[in-house]
Amino acid sequence: MKTRMLVMLLLTALVFGAIFGFKAFGRHMMNSHFEAPPPPVAIATAEVRAYRWPRVLNSVGTFRARDGARLAAEVDGVVAAIRFESGQSVAAGQVLLELEAGVEQGRVAALAAELKLARLDRERYRELASRRLVPQSEADLRDSAYERLAAQLAAERALLARKHVRAPFAGRLGIRQISLGDYLKAGDPVVSLQSVDPIHLDFSLPERVQGQVAVGMRVEAELDAWPGQRFSGAIAAIEPEIDAGTRNFRLRAEFANADGRLMPGAFARVRVQAGAAHEVLAVPMTAVRHEPFGDSVFVLNATDGG
């Protein structure tokens, strides 16, 4: 019995000893791992080089037509003739639309006939008054009647002219919004007209760079519609005030647009060439470490050994 108890105690001691020994060995290996120096890291080096770097200011902007209008009827009337096609280029003053004007034309013709008789009557009474055959007041009455008819005729002709819709400037028309025979009220839209050559690009820059830009500086624009292409223009105007809310000021650049690829309303990424290029020191982008507290690079100092 005593022998069996002794064997069991011995086995228990061996088991606990093995467990404690394994844990002690594990702690020793872990401490050895953390205390060992990290293995050397393979690195590549590059020389800092000097480059001529352009002074560029970046922004975004929107293209605007040099002149743009939504043409509309000035008076009520029925569309009698449409003298344009959607997308057509037109000249300034070109007639685009005619409304029925039979009544107005009749009034103009009648007043023109009355004015002709009034002119003859005025000349006759002037002659008679010069000979003292009639009082001067009679001649004055004929003068007044003639001038009144002339004013009425001018008013009717102006009303007749408003029966025509003309292009106020040269440009390209949009899609027409009326059809032959439509009854239009004053103000009803007819078609849009845009002057797009040259075309303007409006954008903003922060006030801190105000002293770096001037009229005539080169501007480049990139559009998603024309990937890989840059369109060149120049600053045409600078807003003489700074927005108190955004602390930005507005600029307008002008671009040649003979092929019509630049359209009003298009979004563009803008680059302003702000002065001559200056010399800068440059390193590869992969050498820059980006950290929350700032960007940094490692500098390798040369030693006597190389």
* CATH number for position 212: 2.40.30.170
In a domain, 215, yes or no: yes
For residues 264 and 199, state if they share a domain.
Answer: yes
Query: Do 202 and 158 belong to one domain?
Result: no
For residue 260, give both structure tokens.
Answer: 């019509």
Residue 109 belongs to a domain:
yes
Q: Are residues 152 and 202 in the same domain?
A: no
pLDDT in tens, the chain (306 residues): 567 676 676 667 666 666 766 676 667 666 665 555 666 666 677 777 777 777 788 999 999 999 988 999 888 888 888 988 898 889 998 999 888 877 777 787 887 887 788 788 777 767 777 777 777 877 777 778 788 888 877 887 777 778 888 999 999 999 998 888 889 898 899 999 999 889 999 999 999 988 888 898 899 999 999 998 999 999 999 999 998 999 999 999 999 998 889 999 999 999 998 766 667 777 787 777 777 877 777 787 766 555
Structure-block tokens of residue 98: 């005619």
Domain assignment of residue 240, yes or no: yes
Q: Are residues 158 and 213 in the same domain?
A: no
Instruction: Work out the end-to-end distance of the chain between its first and last CA atoms, rounded to an integer number of angstroms.
Output: 81
C-alpha torsion sign, points 94, 97, 102, 107: negative
Specify whether 212 is located in the same domain as 266.
Answer: yes
Residue 1 is assigned to a structural domain of this protein: no
In a domain, residue 70? The reply is no
Give a yes or no: residue 157 inside a domain. yes
Cis bond leading into 198, ω under 30°?
Answer: yes
Phi, psi for residue 105 in degrees, rounded to 5: -65, -40
The helix (H) or strand (E) run that includes residue 289 is: strand 289-291
Query: Are 60 and 209 within one domain?
Result: yes
Residues of 84-112 as b/e, b for ≥16 C-beta within 10 angstroms? beeeeebeeeeebbebebeebeebbeebe
Does residue 13 fall inside a structural domain? no
Residues 6+ apart with CB under 8 A from 292: none
For residues 136 and 202, membership in a common domain is answered with no
Residues in the chain: 306
Do 157 and 200 fall within a single domain? no
CA gap 64, 266 in Å, rounded: 8
> What is the identity of the amino acid at 44?
A
Secondary structure (3-state) at 193: strand
Identify whether the C-beta of residue 230 lies closer than 8 Å to the C-beta of residue 255.
no
Distances in whole angstroms, Cα of residue 91 to Cα of each of 81, 194, 255:
18, 12, 21
Exposed / middle / buried, residue 164 (Cβ in 10 Å: 0-12, 13-18, 19+): middle
- Of the candidates 161, 168, 140, 246, the one whose C-alpha atom is nearest the C-alpha of residue 203 is 246
User: pLDDT at position 230, please?
Assistant: 92
Instruction: Work out how many domains the chain is built from and give that number.
Output: 2
> What range defines the domain where residue 119 resides?
101-162
Coil vs helix vs strand at 115: helix
- 0.85 surpassed by pTM: no
Query: Has residue 51 been placed in a domain?
Result: no
C-alpha 147/C-alpha 145 separation (Å) is: 6
> What is the token pair recorded at 87?
């997308």
Report the distance separating Cα 239 and Cα 236, nearest Å.
10
Whether residues 110 and 253 share a domain: the answer is no
140 with 206, same domain? no
Q: Taking Cα atoms as reference points, which of 229, 191, 209 lies closest to residue 96?
A: 191
The partner residues of 64 in beta bridges, in order of sequence, read 200
Task: Determine contact, residues 79/182, Cβ cutoff 8 Å.
Answer: yes
